[in-house]
C-alpha cells in the first residue's frame, strides 16, 4: 500500500466482494492476521490481501492508507482481544498478573503478528484503553503518579518483550524447537564439574526450566519489586 488517502466518508464498501463478502476494516484485519501467521510479513500486500478477500486490491484503500496503517490496526486488535477477556477484581497485584499472563498468551496465539507488532505504539482505541486501565490500577493501589508510570512502563515492556521472544520460539519449525531444547540435555547437562562446576551443579534444573518460558517467574519478580516499593512508600507516608 502507499500513502494514498480515501476520504473517511467514502471508506465503506456496501457491495459484496467476488466471494460474496461485504468488506469492513474488521474483516481486513482478521484476514491479514491469518495471512501473517501463514506467510509472515510478506502477507501485508494489497495484492495478497485482495486475493484472499476476493476483492479488488484498490478497495482496501477505503479502510487503510497503507500497510503500516494496517499493521497498527492489527497491533491494536491484539491488544483488544486481551482486554476483552480481562476482568479486573480490585486486587492490583492479582489483576496485573492476570493481565500480563493474558498478554503473553495472546502473543503466542498469533506469534508472527506479535513479533511484528510488539514494538509499535498504535495510539488507537484499544491501546488507549489499556494504558488508561493499567495506570488506573496502579494509581488506585496507592502508587504516586511517577511510580505508577514507571511500573506501568516496566510491566508493559516486559510483557511485550517476552511475548515477542517466546513467539519467535513458537514460530520456529517444530524440529528446530526440539533440537534447541535438547541442547540443554545433550550439551549442558554433560559438562564436567571440574571445568563448569556451576552448570554441573544445576544441570537438572536447567534441563527442566529452560524448555519453558520464564515469563511467569519474571512477572512475579517484577510485581514483588513493585509491592516492596509500594510498602516503602506507605511506610514513608505513615511515618
Task: Please report whether residue 118 resides in a domain.
Answer: yes
How much is the pLDDT for 41?
84
Q: Write b or e for each residue in 151-173: b if 16 or more Cβ atoms lie within 10 A of its Cβ, otherwise e.
A: bbeebbebbbebbbbbbeebbee
Q: 134 and 48: one domain?
A: no
Which CATH number fits the domain that encloses residue 13?
Answer: 1.10.10.60
- Torsion sign over Cα 76, 115, 105, 155: negative
Q: 55 and 108: one domain?
A: no
Task: Please report whether residue 135 resides in a domain.
Answer: yes
What whole-number distance in Å separates Cα of residue 120 and Cα of residue 151?
A: 19
The cell for 224 is: 514483588
How much is the pLDDT for 15?
59
Task: Please report whether residue 28 resides in a domain.
Answer: yes
Task: Please report whether residue 80 resides in a domain.
Answer: no
β-sheet bridge partners, residue 22: 16
Structural domain including 56 reads 8-65
Q: 211 and 119: one domain?
A: yes
Q: 215 and 98: one domain?
A: yes
What whole-number distance in Å separates Cα of residue 78 and Cα of residue 60?
A: 20
* DSSP character at residue 173: -
Crossing angle for the helix pair 92-109 and 215-238, to the nearest 10 degrees: 160
**H or E element in which residue 46 lies:** helix 46-53
Task: Please report whether residue 76 resides in a domain.
Answer: no
For the chain (239 residues), the mean pLDDT of every run of 10, in chain order, is 47 56 91 93 88 91 93 97 97 98 97 95 98 98 97 98 95 91 95 98 96 96 98 88
Task: Please report whether residue 41 resides in a domain.
Answer: yes
How much is the pLDDT for 42?
83
Amino acid at each position: 500500500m502507499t500513502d494514498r488517502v480515501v476520504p473517511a466518508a467514502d471508506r465503506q464498501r456496501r457491495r459484496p466482494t467476488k466471494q460474496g463478502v461485504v468488506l469492513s476494516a474488521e474483516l481486513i484485519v482478521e484476514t491479514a492476521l491469518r495471512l501473517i501467521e501463514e506467510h509472515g510479513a510478506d502477507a501485508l500486500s494489497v495484492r495478497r490481501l485482495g486475493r484472499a478477500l476476493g476483492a479488488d486490491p484498490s478497495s482496501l484503500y477505503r479502510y487503510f492508507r497503507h500497510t503500516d496503517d494496517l499493521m497498527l490496526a492489527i497491533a491494536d486488535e491484539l491488544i483488544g482481544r486481551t482486554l476483552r477477556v480481562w476482568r479486573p477484581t480490585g486486587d492490583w497485584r492479582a489483576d496485573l498478573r492476570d493481565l500480563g499472563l493474558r498478554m503473553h498468551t495472546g502473543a503466542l496465539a498469533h506469534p508472527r503478528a506479535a513479533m511484528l507488532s510488539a514494538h509499535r505504539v498504535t495510539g488507537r482505541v484499544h491501546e488507549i484503553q489499556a494504558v488508561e486501565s493499567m495506570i488506573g490500577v496502579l494509581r488506585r493501589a496507592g502508587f504516586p503518579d511517577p511510580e505508577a508510570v514507571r511500573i506501568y512502563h516496566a510491566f508493559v515492556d516486559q510483557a511485550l518483550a517476552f511475548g515477542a521472544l517466546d513467539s519467535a520460539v513458537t514460530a520456529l519449525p517444530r524440529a528446530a524447537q526440539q533440537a534447541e531444547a535438547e541442547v540443554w540435555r545433550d550439551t549442558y547437562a554433560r559438562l564436567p564439574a571440574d571445568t563448569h562446576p556451576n552448570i554441573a551443579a544445576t544441570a537438572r534444573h536447567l534441563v527442566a526450566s529452560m524448555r519453558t518460558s520464564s515469563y511467569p517467574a519474571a512477572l512475579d519478580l517484577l510485581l514483588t519489586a513493585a509491592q516492596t516499593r509500594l510498602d516503602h512508600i506507605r511506610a514513608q507516608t505513615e511515618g
